[in-house]
Amino acid sequence: MSIVDISQEKVLEDNLIESLVQSGHWTYHPELNNEEKLRANLRVIIEKNNKAALKDQRLTDAEFAQVKNQLTFPSFFEAAKALRGENGKVKVSVQREDQSLGRVMLLVLDNRDIAGGTSVYQIINQYQAPRLRPMDSDSRFDVSLLINGLPLIHIELKSRAVGFMEAFNQIKEYVREGKFRGIYSACQMFVVSNGANTRYLAPASHDRLNAKFLSRRVDKDNRPVEDLFDFAKAVLTIPQAHRMVSKYTVLDYDNESLLILRPYQIHAIRAVMDAFKEGRGGYVRHTTGSGKTLTSYKVANNLLEVPMIDKSVFIVDRVDLDNQTSGAFTSYAKGDFVDIDETDNVRGLVSKLVEDRKSVIVTTIQKLNYLIKRYEDKKDSPTYKKLRKLNLVFVVDECHRAVSSEKQLTINKFFNNPRRFGFTGTPIFAENQKQANGDLARTTKEQYGSCLHQYTVRHAIEDKAVLGFQVEYKSTISEDDFYDIVKDKNKDVDFENSDKAYLEGLIDSGYYEKDAHMIEVIDTIVNKSRLKFGLDRGAGKTFSAILTTSSIEKAQRYYELFCDLKEGRLDLKISDRVRKLMPDFPKVAITYSIAQNQEETGLNKEKMKKALGDYNETFGTSFTLDEIKAYNSNLNERLARKKVLYETRSEQVDLVIVVDRLLTGFDSPTTALLFIDRAPMRPQNLIQAFSRTNRIYNSYKTYGQIVTFQSPDLYEKSVEEAFSLYSNGGEDYIKAPSFDESLEIFEKALTSFTSCVSSPSDVDNLKTLDEKMAFAKAFQGLDKALANIRVYGQYDEEEFFKKYDLSYKDLEEYNGKYVNIIEEIKEELDNGDDPDQDQLLDIGYETLTVGVDEIDSSYLNRLMDIASKKGIDLPREKREQSKEFIELRESLEKASKSNPKKINLYREVAEDILTNPNKYKEIDMETYMENKISDMYQEGITKLAGEVKVPYDKADYYAKIYKRENDNGNYLLQYSDIDQVKKEQDLNPLKAKKYVRGKISTIMKEDIEPYRT
């Protein structure tokens, strides 16, 4: 880094420290610059805050060692668990060396005592973080904020020349190198800034630190707060900073992660609390996908802090949502100050309501309705009287659907007019209000009161909290046939003076029930959407999709047609290009409500039995009709892929066919596509359905992709109306550019790139730092533009590459040069070279279009099968020169880059086929190779179990969930027979554990991971 950059960072650092000190509460301690000094400081604070408990007898070194052990954490998540405390108070247990003093509980932090009392707020900078491994470097952290001696907030600063993302990459590298250990393992919040742009995020292991989750501060009106010093005033002063790492953090136990609320969530919580104090209700409008469940959880939780409230009741609108939402609530609540009660039935709901303790209760409107019906005529019963006396507050999810206006009147009457707060991403406005029904409320405002806080899809996209939508409107009706189809049922239509959308609305719905139409839809999904699904990215890395239809009967027919396609019973075939990329694509499932009416239930059950059988065979499950709820839950998890198990191709589903299920309330970041074969829905339902696709996931997912297959002009009109209604005038923000607009962006990026270099060899002639940065920036721009345009239906790769004189061979070569150039840029920046101040560059950028085409095992198996069956009677030399063997060799060479051990196994068999072809004449090569790979995998499991002395089933499970970047062997270590290891290896206990960890790592990398599918 240049002297100029260092100077800029130093000024930024000094000014930040000064501004925080001047804000009050914070004191600056430059002397606390290493682990030993920080520990000594912590010791002083603990002794000061616990004089009574310590009876004025200071901690001995041995006693403080106990404290140190309890405040050193294996992960940020474990630190967050410990730092929640009991009722907000974090304590450690210490056995005094003087036995007469017994065991004492010492206060470390009091998260309910903010800005006073026992809380001590200190600032340090230039902390010396020593290396963990010899190949790493010593580091100096920029600024850290200590609360009661623990560094809970770390701030990394960079100059404007490289931008705030370089600060993020720096923190990621620190985490990877293990710099956040010891006392810094307690860290609960990261902040990154270059002065002009500032972001924050929750700590995580380096492989889970995702730039997509960087949050920028916005004020209550959603105006961005980018400047470091404005950010510091709003977030890092006291009491705000202490609240951020206590009141506004949540533990997600299911994903073992720490979450920090985004600014709009914090503003909503404050708005609800203010409204309650003023005696008002109201609703919060936060766009779908922005974390309403988390926000509503914190609202329901915080409302319990009001002394007069007995219970906080969270209502969801149906059983399916109850499962997902209450599960999220339960996961969040494990580490918080209150319990969350799930109610399985009305009796359980009643008991939870009347028991004498504060709690949040998650229930459905159906259960609440049953309760009211059961007790409304029992006004003299003790239970009714208890229920009537309760001071309740209702928090309602998807409030315009969950509780009707009529039901709300019933609830108000029964529960003595409780306060209510609604949450929705798609409120009902005057423009789309419900039909009149007496004097009942027709809009969300009429039913709940005024909007307390709003965060629209436009705001969310600007904040990068959700993605925009790319919508394609397709039709299976040709222009030549369109008017004939309309005329067939509408003889008297004035075609000349009617717009296309109106005419499309006249098409008989029966047309879209025909097999011919559905087969065209399937062709688009399977053969023309490979880049939308990301099939070129390799097994396990694709996106998932939902297909929604107008009826259960049509959904069933779609499922049958997909089965026929896979079994070769349709005229339609899966293209060779798709089969090469993903031979088992598409894996399809279906879900719907079995009970419609008496006549249909029997047929629905029979067809669901078939679908369940297929599902069980594909995924090794055993669901029956009696377990349909469990099946739906498993399917949801498999589609969403949040658990490690579903990161492997063998456990993934590609497409789920639905009618209405999963179109609301379903959170699935890996779902990027929604295919719609039904008439346009109401505006709120369209936005809800679209929003299944726009969750933030990774850099490859840039938009939620929607494809419609009926009435394209009518659909476009309906979508535009929905966008207009729910974007507050920000339609252009929430839509992806059109194909033509994206093409223009690509052409500009290509021109910019070719102005830097005209061939891969030109890259070698770039000498200055500015030239290299210009090339890197231009290549990133070209890569992004190409990645964006590839997912449009109009994109034809062969024609596109020919038109713009592109080839993947050149792109791969450019990519290789780019990787080298980035390393050179890093080195030159470290050596003090000063880049052009206007040349901002994302050093950590990962390419999106090059180097992702991985060879799938199933494709190799197919090539092996073809090669083994052809040319059996030919001499070896001619077999070796056949096109089948040439393609096999080329594919093996390409695949070996990502998994050499597994490919060596293929090479051995391929060599044997060349030498002894008759041996394989009757063998199915796919089964043969799968068995060989499975044998190697099982040998690895056996070796792992034997070497580290654990039960085989534990080793087998560990191998399934193992992730190299985020593992320390702790899971297996707890089952290892350490005594046996000590005995066999002649080691002391500490070295025995180290030996086991080493064996786990080595065997996983060398003997198991290469053969995992």
- Integer CA distances (angstroms), 896 to 138, 581, 863, 889, 967, in order: 36, 16, 15, 10, 25
CA–CA gap between residue 73 and residue 81 (Å, rounded): 10
CA–CA gap between residue 278 and residue 261 (Å, rounded): 25
Sign of CA dihedral 110, 113, 116, 117: negative
Which of 809, 916, 925 lies closest to 857, judged by CA? 925
Residues 465-478: what's their mean pLDDT?
90
Identify whether the C-beta of residue 80 lies closer than 8 Å to the C-beta of residue 66.
Answer: no
Q: What is the pLDDT of residues 382-415, one digit of tens each?
A: 999 999 889 999 998 877 766 677 777 888 888 8
Identify whether the C-beta of residue 149 lies closer than 8 Å to the C-beta of residue 120.
Answer: yes
Among the ranges 290-294, 964-968, 1003-1007, which has the highest mean pLDDT value? 1003-1007
DSSP label at 960? Answer: H
Q: Which helix (H) or strand (E) holds 488?
A: helix 479-489
pLDDT at 853: 46
Number of other residues whose CB lies within 10 A of the CB of residue 511: 16
Residues 794-815: what's their mean pLDDT?
86
Who's near 280: CB < 8 A, 6+ residues apart?
A: 449, 450
Average pLDDT, the chain: 86
Identify residue 909 by its one-letter amino acid code: V
Cα angle at 634 between 632 and 638, to 5 degrees? 115
pLDDT at 397: 82
CA–CA gap between residue 256 and residue 78 (Å, rounded): 8
Rounded to 10°, the helix 598-619/552-566 angle is 30
Asked whether residue 610 carries a pLDDT value surpassing 70, the answer given is yes
Identify whether the C-beta of residue 238 lies closer than 8 Å to the C-beta of residue 115.
Answer: yes
Q: Which helix (H) or strand (E) holds 359?
A: strand 359-364
CA–CA gap between residue 247 and residue 244 (Å, rounded): 6
SS3 at position 394: strand
Confidence band, pLDDT 50/70/90 cuts, at residue 317: low
Asked whether residue 62 carries a pLDDT value surpassing 80, the answer given is yes
DSSP label at 117? Answer: T
Identify whether the C-beta of residue 278 lies closer than 8 Å to the C-beta of residue 360.
Answer: no
Q: What is the pLDDT of residues 179-220, one digit of tens each?
A: 999 999 999 999 999 999 999 999 998 878 888 789 999 998
pTM: 0.73
CA–CA gap between residue 109 and residue 741 (Å, rounded): 55
pLDDT at 973: 83
CA–CA gap between residue 203 and residue 247 (Å, rounded): 16
